[in-house]
Structure 1
Amino acid sequence: MTVLERSELEASPLADLHAIADQLGLDGFRRLRKGDLVDAILTHEGEGAGDAGAPEPEEPRGRRGVAARRRRDGRSSTARSRRSERAAPAQADVEEQQELDREDGAAGERAVAEGVVELLGNGSAFLRVHPPEPSDEDVYISAAQVRRCELVSGDSVSGPVRTPRRSERYPSLVRVETINGEPAESVSDGARYEDLPVAYPSTRLVLGVADQTLEAIEWLTPLGLGSRATIVGAARSGKTETMHAILAALAGRDELAVTLVLLGVRPEEIARAQEGPVAPAAALTFAASADVQGQALERAVEEGRRVAARGGDALLLIDCLDGVHPHAARKALASARNLREAGSLTIVATAARPFGGESTVIALDVALTSTGRRPILDLLASGTLEPELLVGEDGARAIAQARATALESAG
């Protein structure tokens, strides 16, 4: 086995160190700064800096070398660890991108790769040279480049690449030169998403399914491109089933980029969804922490925002928001909007109750669900803002009449 030298590791880019740490099975290596990561790798291999004797026993999680160095520094290991874990992901991206920038500046003639972007769950991506199938010719794109150039799955990208280094399987993209045939600078240097002018949804999402509940939703609590919607109700009221029915009705439409995210659900629900019309972009059981669920949610929302800012229409379905921190859930929902001069991001999420700020609330009645009656819509607790923009003035009057009838029946 090759002996890992400290000098070689310190001279290696962060991406190479991540690849080595992954092969060694180190836990939590992406949270470490570069110096700490070098220590952890050497500790795992039993090769300390200048250690010519037998290796010391390895401590759990490959962190003995890191802890030892912290003690030598005379600092509080606990406090420093917390600061490091908060800062490390961003620092790792910065260091990785700085390394690529240095290589870019020092590069002569490099091979240029062209392909289609496929985002990964950790925020990085691959450039599929022979899409849609993976191949050994595919090129790795760092998470920093994905964010800086606001890349989304399906983008056609080109740029110079460097050959794989030790422990690397794929070449790496040094720089994004073009995105969908346009210079990368002109595509990514646009206005902030939050600053783009918005309007209430005015293009109705046609479900077109012979299902009583979906028909009630389509005409009594209509959804449109840019809707910010929650499907709410008590446990076993049918929230998950209703959301998957909406997914089945809208999947496969070329004009709509559909994404499914499962957060805090049962393992059986994940297995079922993986066999459905749209495979989940993220799937986490109820064992996942609120922070982990929030990170997966943020990545999915960010991709949808990029699609909308480019002029496309994205639909993000989330089941469910109950295991996410309330602020993270509201932040995600707030990203849904109909952009006047671009595209739209529609978000439909399940939750126990509304968060506030929705443009549509679809409330389900557990009493109707449990007795097998349809539709299961609780019309008095449901509603859509500015429904006339989606179903016309006559449709809005019909909604008001239906609500009045429901109120009389309830009385």
Structure 2
Amino acid sequence: MSVLDRSSLEDSPLADLHALASELGIDGYRRLRKADLIDAILARQGGENGAGTVEDAAADAEAAERPRRGRRGRRGGRARRDADEGEGEAEAEAEAEGPVAKVADTEPAERVAEGVVELLGNGSGFLRVSPPDPSDDDVYISAAQVRRCELVSGDRVGGPVRPPRRSERYPSLIRVDTINGKAADEVAEGIHFDDLPAAFPTQRFALNSDDPTLKAIEWLTPLGRGSRAVIAGGPRAGKSEALRRIAAALAAQDGVDVTVVLAGVRPEEIGDWKEHGPGEPAVALSFAASHDAQSQAVERAVETAKRIASRGGDAVLVLDTLDGLHPHAARKILAAARDIVDGGSLTIIATASKPVGGETTVIALDAALTSTGRFPALDLGASGTLRPELLVGEAGADAIAQARAQALGVS
């Protein structure tokens, strides 16, 4: 499937088409019907000077609108209406005839840029031509292009660039031609992430911590690449602190891309994460944000992590918390975690007041133990990992079963 072929454009929402038309410098695109707009985009993308076609379509749209405007504008009197229509005809003629020559005379030759993608929190990004430092030569990449080409931070991308317009500071990428040395349409033809085969995690994360709770988590509720884990417990059970320490331990490991997402937390916890966490959170929303705002922000972060995993990387997303999301949204986000067969992995470790279902690992914390300073504060009876023998071996799995039986008073 071509990155910008007709079928993909027809499947795109009108807002994305408007954004693309703006990047391409198509005038009058907001007055075009969707089919005409797609024709204009294809004409411009195909290397043709589509200005004449676009302007003609814009003039047609203007002419179609004019009778309706005339009927609504009776109060202004015949003279005003005639003057307005005369001006409208002159403008339509100027749009239909003038811009073709104007564009041909003034439009500069297409410049090609190549650099490294750096994504922003709103879904758009920049092409850093001298990474990692920003410069005035960097190129803006729209959110629509990021989604269409499934770009992630660190991708090396190339494509033609248009100069900045009057109100813009940076040039804009017209289209993505190459991604990491491959043709963009070739990269786009990959299997959809949700259709990639998944397996139970087999590579254990070594937390290497002296913290007693983290030691208990590492050996009694082990986490692996591709785990779908929830740290559960009531208020003041220590969920956020445990998650922060796990995130710090994972961020210190080579080859692991850790993303911190805060949604629905206390404002004070955002400050704690920024000061003591492993890095700046990609998303930081307090509980004052709406359910929809939280879900959309988290889903954007998950989409980025999916792209890393689908290209063979090991992504870890730590999320505090699932409690502010709709139950369906929480399950959908958690379901993205997987160990891809013969590929990368996406690990999601989230906090919640209780498990949401579908986890491969549940880490239940005991608020009573935490409040009295008795650590590890792990409720072993309510905790567990599916198929632990894949992570710690048969002997390790037997040791976990014995520890749980002892905690539950079962002989």
Q: TM-score, normalised by structure 2?
A: 0.76
Q: 1:156 maps to what in 2?
A: 156
Q: By how many angstroms is 1:155 displaced?
A: 0.8
Counterpart residue identity of residue 148, structure 1 = R
Give the secondary structure class of the aligned counterpart of 1:303. helix
How far apart, CA to CA, are the structure 2 residues paired with 1:112 and 1:252? 37
Q: 1:338 maps to what in 2?
A: 339
Counterpart residue identity of residue 224, structure 2 = G
Change in CA separation of 1:337 and 1:371 when aligned onto 2, cut-off 3 Å: same
How far apart, CA to CA, are the structure 1 residues paired with 2:230 and 2:352? 7
Q: 2:136 maps to what in 1?
A: 136
1:110-129 to structure 2, matched below 5 A, reads 110-129=110-129
Give the secondary structure class of the aligned counterpart of 2:259. strand
Asked whether the 8 Å contact 1:229–1:361 carries over to 2, the reply is yes
Q: 2:20 maps to what in 1?
A: 97
Counterpart residue identity of residue 326, structure 2 = H
How far apart, CA to CA, are the structure 2 residues paired with 1:266 and 1:403? 33
Moved more, 377-386 or 252-261: 252-261
Counterpart residue identity of residue 323, structure 2 = D
How far apart, CA to CA, are the structure 1 residues paired with 2:139 and 2:201? 39
Counterpart residue identity of residue 216, structure 1 = A
Give the secondary structure class of the aligned counterpart of 1:294. helix
Give the secondary structure class of the aligned counterpart of 2:409. helix
Q: 1:256 maps to what in 2?
A: 256
1:17-56 to structure 2, matched below 5 A, reads none
Give the secondary structure class of the aligned counterpart of 1:132. coil
User: Is structure 2 residue 216 aligned with structure 1 residue 293?
Assistant: no
Asked whether the 8 Å contact 1:361–1:382 carries over to 2, the reply is yes
How far apart, CA to CA, are the structure 1 residues paired with 2:138 and 2:278? 26
User: Is structure 2 residue 285 aligned with structure 1 residue 284?
Assistant: yes
How far apart, CA to CA, are the structure 2 residues paired with 1:253 and 1:93? 38
Q: By how many angstroms is 1:260 displaced?
A: 0.2
Q: 2:8 maps to what in 1?
A: none
Q: 1:168 maps to what in 2?
A: 168
Counterpart residue identity of residue 392, structure 1 = G
Q: 1:62 maps to what in 2?
A: none
Asked whether the 8 Å contact 1:308–1:314 carries over to 2, the reply is yes
Q: By how many angstroms is 1:90 displaced?
A: 4.1
Moved more, 400-409 or 162-171: 400-409
Asked whether the 8 Å contact 1:103–1:174 carries over to 2, the reply is no
- Deviation per residue, 1:225-276 (Å, 9 max, x gap): 0000000000000000000000111114330111000011122211222233
Moved more, 138-147 or 343-352: 138-147
User: Is structure 2 residue 239 aligned with structure 1 residue 239?
Assistant: yes
How far apart, CA to CA, are the structure 2 residues paired with 1:252 and 1:209? 11
Counterpart residue identity of residue 104, structure 1 = Q
- Deviation per residue, 1:373-406 (Å, 9 max, x gap): 1101100000000000000000000000000100
Q: 2:381 maps to what in 1?
A: 380
How far apart, CA to CA, are the structure 1 residues paired with 2:281 and 2:133? 18
Give the secondary structure class of the aligned counterpart of 1:240. helix
How far apart, CA to CA, are the structure 2 residues paired with 1:364 and 1:103? 58
Q: 1:360 maps to what in 2?
A: 361
How far apart, CA to CA, are the structure 1 residues paired with 2:252 and 2:125? 23
Q: By how many angstroms is 1:109 displaced?
A: 4.2
Q: 1:206 maps to what in 2?
A: 206
Matched length:
322
Q: 1:302 maps to what in 2?
A: 303
Moved more, 275-284 or 391-400: 275-284
Which runs of 5 or more residues in structure 2 are unaligned?
1-11, 25-40, 50-107
How far apart, CA to CA, are the structure 1 residues paired with 2:183 and 2:167? 32
- Deviation per residue, 1:49-79 (Å, 9 max, x gap): xxxxxxxxxxxxxxxxxxxxxxxxxxxxxxx
Asked whether the 8 Å contact 1:362–1:377 carries over to 2, the reply is yes
Q: 1:272 maps to what in 2?
A: 272
- Deviation per residue, 1:24-51 (Å, 9 max, x gap): xxxxxxxxxxxxxxxxxxxxxxxxxxxx
Give the secondary structure class of the aligned counterpart of 2:262. strand
Give the secondary structure class of the aligned counterpart of 1:134. coil
How far apart, CA to CA, are the structure 2 residues paired with 1:404 and 1:205? 25
Asked whether the 8 Å contact 1:363–1:378 carries over to 2, the reply is yes
- Deviation per residue, 1:294-347 (Å, 9 max, x gap): 010000000011111001010000000111111111100000000003200000
How far apart, CA to CA, are the structure 2 residues paired with 1:103 and 1:377? 61
Q: 2:185 maps to what in 1?
A: 185
Q: By how many angstroms is 1:103 displaced?
A: 4.1
- Deviation per residue, 1:158-196 (Å, 9 max, x gap): 111000011011111011111111211222211111111
Q: Which runs of 4+ in 1 moved over 6 A?
A: none
User: Is structure 2 residue 321 aligned with structure 1 residue 320?
Assistant: yes
Q: 1:391 maps to what in 2?
A: 392
Two-structure CA RMSD over aligned residues (Å): 1.6
Give the secondary structure class of the aligned counterpart of 1:248. helix
Give the secondary structure class of the aligned counterpart of 1:314. strand
Asked whether the 8 Å contact 1:304–1:345 carries over to 2, the reply is yes
How far apart, CA to CA, are the structure 2 residues paired with 1:305 and 1:194? 9
Give the secondary structure class of the aligned counterpart of 1:268. helix
Moved more, 106-115 or 347-356: 106-115
How far apart, CA to CA, are the structure 1 residues paired with 2:181 and 2:250? 29
